């Protein structure tokens, strides 16, 4: 039976460390790291995510400001706000909550954020640096996934991983981070043929497709590490992308939903924000 990777506990420990870093920053330089979050429209899930991000900032002493714009906000209004935040030295980090209303061009908006303040790691500059193996802001969920895998203590080099999902937010950056650690990575998606066999050959499975319990327990290679990124609301409550009960009988380590990847994503946002502030203020 698998060990359960306790993302909540690992995230709590990371937050403790960040709290003392923020305290030292304030004490030695009288500077408070600042994050600005922009929310456009009234997507209910986004509202909750943004609220949770604000609360987490408060917990570790980061100053967070929220800009809530109406759904009919124009391209120019949004770009002007980003430009103002780019130029505000008290704002070290900027996050535009996705998804944006479909009228707005997400790529254009993300490219307007200064790469030095891009704590989501979605700007092509940071994406390119990640792909090249250069220091960059790493998207929060993939960064959290790597921390969870590393918490098991396994040596990654030479392992085989299947990443299920090819989004810019999770699948693609996770694949590149694993590759950077000398893992052999297969990225699978909705058009992939022979998925069960591919997953069965994987030492590490990262499931990020947003379909409840899509990955069956019997597809898991005995001894594999299973990271479940899914947060699916079902009639029976929250479900991951993996059939947890059956998968945990075969895996060596597995993340629960909730309490696995979710808390890590926010902890990594806080970590990237502190990092952005340190770099901007040359505080090492």
> Annotated catalytic sites, by residue?
53, 97, 120
The reply on whether position 126 binds ligand GUN by CB under 6 A is no
The reply on whether position 120 binds ligand GUN by CB under 6 A is yes
Pairwise CA distance, residues 210 & 233, whole Å:
10
Q: Judge contact between 202 and 247, C-beta under 8 A.
A: no
Displacement of CA 247 from its chain's centroid (Å): 23
Q: Judge contact between 162 and 204, C-beta under 8 A.
A: yes
Q: Least distance from C-beta 93 to ligand GUN, angstroms?
A: 11
Cα R_g (the chain), whole angstroms: 19
The reply on whether position 98 binds ligand GUN by CB under 6 A is yes
The reply on whether position 97 binds ligand GUN by CB under 6 A is yes
Which residue, 137 or 219, is less far from ligand GUN as judged by CB?
137
Residues near 263 by beta carbon (within 8 Å), at least 6 away in sequence: 7, 8, 10, 11, 12
The reply on whether position 140 binds ligand GUN by CB under 6 A is yes
Which residue, 11 or 251, is less far from ligand GUN as judged by CB?
11
The reply on whether position 64 binds ligand GUN by CB under 6 A is no
Stretch that binds ligand GUN, among 4-12, 69-77, 96-104, 238-246 (CB under 6 A): 96-104
Q: Is the dihedral of CA 264, 266, 267, 273 positive or negative?
A: positive
Using CB under 6 A as the binding rule, the residues of this chain from 151 to 210 that contact ligand GUN are 169
Q: Which residues form the interface with ligand GUN (CB under 6 A)?
A: 95-98, 120, 140-141, 169
């Amino acid at each position: 039976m698998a060990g359960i990777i306790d993302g909540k506990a690992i995230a709590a420990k990371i937050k403790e460390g960040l709290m003392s870093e923020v305290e030292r920053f304030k004490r030695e330089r009288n500077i408070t790291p600042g994050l600005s979050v922009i929310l456009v429209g009234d997507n209910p899930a986004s509202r909750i995510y943004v609220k949770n991000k604000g609360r987490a900032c408060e917990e570790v002493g980061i100053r967070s400001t929220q800009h809530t714009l109406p759904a009919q906000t124009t391209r120019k209004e949004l770009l002007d706000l980003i430009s103002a935040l780019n130029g505000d030295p008290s704002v070290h980090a900027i996050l535009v909550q996705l998804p944006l209303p479909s009228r707005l061009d997400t790529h254009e908006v993300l490219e307007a954020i200064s790469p030095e303040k891009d704590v989501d790691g979605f700007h092509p500059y940071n994406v390119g640096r990640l792909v090249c193996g250069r220091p960059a802001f790493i998207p929060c969920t993939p960064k959290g996934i790597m921390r969870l895998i590393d918490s098991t203590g396994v040596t990654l080099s030479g392992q085989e991983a299947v990443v299920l999902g090819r989004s810019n937010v999770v699948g693609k950056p996770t694949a590149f981070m694993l590759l950077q650690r000398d893992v052999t990575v297969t990225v699978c998606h909705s058009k992939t043929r022979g998925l069960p066999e591919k997953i069965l050959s994987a030492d590490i499975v990262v499931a990020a497709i947003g379909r409840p319990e899509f990955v069956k327990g019997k597809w898991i290679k005995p001894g594999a590490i299973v990271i479940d990124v899914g947060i699916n609301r079902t009639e029976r409550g929250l479900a991951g992308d993996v059939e947890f009960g059956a998968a945990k009988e075969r895996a060596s380590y597995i993340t629960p939903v909730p309490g696995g990847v979710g808390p890590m994503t926010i902890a990594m946002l806080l970590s990237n924000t502190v990092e952005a502030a340190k770099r901007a203020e040359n505080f090492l």
